[in-house]
Structure 1
Amino acid sequence: MSDLRSSYDVVIVGGGVVGSATAYFLASNPDFTGSVLVVEKDWTYARAATSLSSSSIRHQFSNPLNVRMSMFGTEFIRQFPELTAVDGKGDDLALHENGYLFLANDQRGSDILSRNRATQAACGAQGVLLTPREVAVRFPWLNTDDLTLASLGLAGEGWFDNTGFLYGLRAKARALGVTYIEDEVTGVTGQGGRVASVTLKSGAQVGCGALVNAAGTRGRRIAEMAGLYLPVEPRRRSLFVVDCRTPLPGRVPLTIDPTGVFFRPEGRYYLMGTVPDPDPAVDPDDFAVAHDEFEEQIWPVLAERIPAFEALKVVNSWAGHYDYCTLDHNVIVGPHPEVSNFLFANGFSGHGLQQSPAIGRGLSEWITYGGFRSLDLSPLGYARVVSNTPFLEEAII
């Protein structure tokens, strides 16, 4: 802590994938010449959303902005070894481009998939709509009797090394001069309508030119320290790794049943989960696995959809958290309209890993140039919280 400065041009609260992506893009931008401090409370990242996620990325959204953010995420992941190399060495994130397969079993679901596919195609995302017969030919292990339509991503969608992503960003940011400390922000001091400094659990007070709230499920608490409201709360998501006696043949995509239950390959096993019902807010330190979700919600659906899944054995399970935006399940990004140097990166609702490159790039542009340049993220800004106007996105898992 002896090398901690008294002030930094940018203080980032949270050193997970979103905070580290922001730090990386700031430090990589030759037009940004300031200093950056990242404050992370737990360097093990054992309970970070990144570490406990399903590590997936998709282009199949209904809103063009979400499509384009994830398309940039894929591009960044593909170039990751070169972009984040330190001393000539960078890590490949082993992107498995098996695609996402969305299933519909009624007219409303079919209409949504058709509209979404048109939007995705207009953005350049590769995919195809499949009839039930075409689904059966491609994926003979799938029960298609009740299906009306399906949408399959053909490139850029799949899963990858989540912890490699986080640690690669962090290592590169540090190599470029970003300071990381293991500490916790316990107070935010304002002056003249701006954030002036943060107080750390260690007792240090650090001045800041801008503060980026990338604190995940604790983002609401950081906002409250500055006297600001943030409609974000922790929601638990339990994931289960299962063994199947009869492995599914061929290239298996991440498959989303019309009920919301999903699964994907995980090595020789399969990873699966669902949106809990009910889905209450939880304590940010509650990581108990909801085992009843597997028995009551997941297995019955998948046993019907995939006959080979009638006999499954759970070999591992864990619970992570969404920083869930209660307004519309989408990230809030950019400055507060009244406290202009307080910037949000909160409420990803499960999309933080795949959207972190676009959000980190956008925040770095805002801090450096006073506005978004590569991709206009303003529709995801705080103004919609003030006006209570949701950002519309139909493809929520």
Structure 2
Amino acid sequence: MGTPSRDSYDVVIVGGAIMGSAVAWFLTDLGFDGRILVVDRDMSFEKTATATSTSCIRQQFSTELNVRISQFGAEFVTHLREYMGNDPRVPQLGIRNFGYLYLADTDAFADDLRARAAVQQAAGGATRLLSRDQIARLYPFYALDDIVLGSINTRDEGYFDSMAVFEWLRRQAQERGVEYVEAEVTGIEVTGARVQSVTLSDGTRIACGQVINAAGPRAGHVAQMAGIDLPVEPRKRYSWVFKAEQPLDRDLPLTIDPSGLHVRENGGGTYQAGGHFGDDPAVAFDDFTMDHGLWEAEVWPLLATRIPQFEAIKLTHSWVGHYEMNTFDHNAVLGPHPEIDKYLFINGFSGHGLQQAPAMGRGLAEWLCFGGYRTLDLTEFHYDRVLSGAPQVEKAVI
């Protein structure tokens, strides 16, 4: 249990993984001169959505704003050192552009891919639609009898070192004076429709000018502390890493199979698969139990069906992570609460938060520093839409 050095802060951020750290870093980068406290219940971050993710970035979304958000994410990743003041300690990062390949097995899904591609291309994305024959020529290892169309982008889509990005956001934020404390927030005091303080599990009360909910899969729980109904729940997502007896002769795009399985290149003859099957219920925050039967019953058969070369593979390790699923519209909830003053959201990313952290952290920092957005207008993500029942649906959720 950590102890904050003060009893009052201008900003308290609940959650210190990539979203909370992105907000903290951008606040310091924009010249915010107040005191910032980041509180997280586990500073190892090993069970966070940040640490258990697929660690990839894409622009193939169904809404223009989400495309542009990930475009900035790619720019930030590939120019990380420059954004961080040319600090020589910061690594020069790139994106391994094997791309995402969506496979459609119905005419309706194919039409949906065409509509998404039009949105992506209009925003400057490099999405290409592929016929079954074109997919076969580019990637001859797929079995494609049931496929009618594919969609791929190999520019700024693929793997990046997400943990390096997170580590440097956090490290530089701390070096610039942001205080990180390992503790659990157990209460948020709201008086007269205004946030007054947060309470830690040892009873410590911390007065705050602003509180930011960056609690990932726990975001709904943290919102309830302030009497707010936030439709964000933890949902299990499984990951498996396996080695192929005969590796593919070229990079495997992150392939989104119609079955719900996805699989990508991992390097060195190894590959990473993920997904969920059947019901997708909310789970307990601490439920990371692996269903070991899924590999034999679901995953391996699906892999071998789509890529026959994967009949001879060996599972090397697996893990379970959580999505912070926004059950309302699978999109971010960001910005101020319209009725509770000094309470802000950065939640509900439904599996695409890692790549969106730079733009979302920058946007929320702009709101705090300038009272509005200076770069991307993120207003459509505000909580107002939840209260009014007006979803901004993102269809491209994996």
The answer on 1:270 being equivalent to 2:282 is no
CA deviation profile, 1:145-194 (whole Å, cap 9, x unmatched)? 22211111120010112221211110011122211111111111112211
- Structure 1 residue aligned with 2:328: 327
How do 1:152-231 and structure 2 match up within 5 A?
152-231=152-231
Aligned partners of 1:255, 1:198: CA distance in 2, in Å? 43
Cα distance change, pair 3–313 in 1 and its aligned pair in 2 (3 A): closer
CA deviation profile, 1:214-269 (whole Å, cap 9, x unmatched)? 01111112111111111111101010001111101113211111222110011221
- Structure 1 residue aligned with 2:290: 289
2:41 is matched by which residue type in structure 1?
Answer: K
Could you say what the CA RMSD is over the residues aligned between the two structures, in angstroms? 1.5
CA deviation profile, 1:114-156 (whole Å, cap 9, x unmatched)? 1111100111111211111111111011112222111111200
Secondary structure at the aligned position of 1:263 is classed as: strand
- Structure 1 residue aligned with 2:83: 83
- Structure 1 residue aligned with 2:280: 279
2:11 is matched by which residue type in structure 1?
Answer: V
Secondary structure at the aligned position of 2:361 is classed as: helix
Secondary structure at the aligned position of 2:141 is classed as: coil
Contact 1:273 1:294 in 2 (8 A): no
Secondary structure at the aligned position of 2:52 is classed as: coil
- Structure 2 residue aligned with 1:123: 123
Cα distance change, pair 2–16 in 1 and its aligned pair in 2 (3 A): closer
Cα distance change, pair 3–279 in 1 and its aligned pair in 2 (3 A): closer
Aligned partners of 1:84, 1:293: CA distance in 2, in Å? 42
Shift of 1:3: 6.3
Secondary structure at the aligned position of 1:211 is classed as: strand
- Structure 2 residue aligned with 1:23: 24
Shift of 1:312: 2.0
Secondary structure at the aligned position of 2:66 is classed as: helix
2:76 is matched by which residue type in structure 1?
Answer: F
Unaligned runs of 5+ in 1: none
Shift of 1:371: 1.7
1:364 is matched by which residue type in structure 2?
Answer: A
TM-score by length of 2: 0.96
TM-score by length of 1: 0.96
How do 1:48-87 and structure 2 match up within 5 A?
48-84=48-84
Identity %: 47
Aligned partners of 1:285, 1:139: CA distance in 2, in Å? 40
Aligned partners of 1:182, 1:84: CA distance in 2, in Å? 25
Aligned partners of 1:294, 1:376: CA distance in 2, in Å? 42
Aligned partners of 1:3, 1:339: CA distance in 2, in Å? 25
CA deviation profile, 1:324-350 (whole Å, cap 9, x unmatched)? 111111111111111131001111111
Secondary structure at the aligned position of 2:329 is classed as: coil
The answer on 1:310 being equivalent to 2:311 is yes
Aligned partners of 2:365, 2:127: CA distance in 1, in Å? 31
The answer on 1:114 being equivalent to 2:109 is no
Using the TM superposition, name which of 230-239 and 1-10 deviates more: 1-10
- Structure 2 residue aligned with 1:352: 353
Aligned partners of 2:224, 2:396: CA distance in 1, in Å? 30
Secondary structure at the aligned position of 2:339 is classed as: coil
Q: How many residues align?
A: 396
